[in-house]
Structure 1
Amino acid sequence: MGLASSGGTTAEYRSKVHLLSKAERSFFGVLQNELNGQFVVFSKVRMADIVKPVSVDGPSWWTAFNQLSSKHIDFVVCEPSSLALVCCIELDDASHDRDERRARDGFVDNCLAAAGIPLLRFAASKGCNPNEVRDKFWLTVGRPQVS
């Protein structure tokens, strides 16, 4: 545990140790296995690194950007050679049943749809179904699986 200060405020910080929760890590392993090295998977990617506001400027641009910058996507799948976006994946646990979380999910869904980025949602669990992951991924991406 260490101290850090900025602007007159001092706070204690410590490592969270693991980047992913147990359910996220389990899903990540299944996803990696089912994609068989054909894609690169990034985790916990900031929405502002995936989409950007357009058709607004000045203060409206910053408002739109700030809405994006505080949200993250669980997994982003990219083409290996160019790192072009293929799709985004969200794991939905019980917290997604809360009103404020549903509003956040709707915002994310709308932003990604407007940007033309496919979004897959899966129920979060420590034991996800590899067949469901594989089938839903290839159905969304629209390409047959290459062995």
Structure 2
Amino acid sequence: MTRHEERCYRYLQERIQEIAINAGYNGNGSLRIHSKVRVVDVVLPDATRYAEGTPSFIGLFRQISQWHFDFVICDDETQKIVIALELDDQSHQLPDRVRRDQILDSVCRDAHMPFTRLIMTRTAMTYKPVYPEHPETQMPVR
């Protein structure tokens, strides 16, 4: 992990229950944060939108098979995914990265995967939910 990712990980550790509840988690089990989880290990292209085996499905699958979520929070007992999180830094403003982010957002929406983008500054963490859509929120960072 980069220093920025480590800082974000520690922040998520401190607020894991709160983040999970805000993502719709209603369990009372233990939660765990996994880092660098391959996207295709969690979601696949929507087979109703991209017929499986077609060039468009295969192309999208190949793209997302190279990508990782920065963090995935799971219920430790059931291993059910509570939310996937992407830490957006300045590189996410580059044209090729903007397009990649749009594709990832679309794949998560199609799969109904709870997914949020995070922007961390020295003083605050901004949550930009992709799916399900909620208002953007900001929380102070210690």
- The answer, yes or no, to whether TM exceeds 0.5 is yes
Summarize the Cα distance change of 1:128–1:80 in structure 2 as closer, same or farther, 3 Å threshold: farther
> Is 1:23 aligned to 2:4, yes or no?
yes
Correspondence for 2:114: 118
> Is this contact kept in 2: 1:24–1:124, CA < 8 A?
no
Correspondence for 2:14: 33
Structure 2 CA distance, aligned partners of 1:104 and 1:62? 16
Aligned residues: 115
Summarize the Cα distance change of 1:75–1:114 in structure 2 as closer, same or farther, 3 Å threshold: same
Correspondence for 1:12: none
Structure 1 residue runs without a partner (length 5+): 1-19, 141-147
User: In proportion to residue count, which structure has more helix?
Assistant: 1
> Is this contact kept in 1: 2:72–2:84, CA < 8 A?
yes
Output the TM-score relative to the length of structure 1: 0.68
Structure 2 residue runs without a partner (length 5+): 18-28, 135-142
Correspondence for 1:15: none
CA apart distance, 1:67: 1.5
Q: Deviations over 1:18-77 (max 9, x none)?
A: xx1000001101101111584111111111111113242324343232021011110011
Residue in structure 1 matching 2:102, options 86, 106, 112: 106
Structure 2 CA distance, aligned partners of 1:50 and 1:69? 10
> Is this contact kept in 2: 1:26–1:128, CA < 8 A?
no
Residue in structure 1 matching 2:60, options 61, 64, 72: 64
Runs of 4+ aligned structure 1 residues displaced above 6 Å come to none
Structure number with greater CO (CA < 8 Å, separation at least 6) is 1
> Is this contact kept in 2: 1:77–1:88, CA < 8 A?
yes
Correspondence for 1:8: none
CA RMSD of aligned residues (A): 2.4
Q: Which has the larger radius of gyration?
A: 1
Identity %: 30
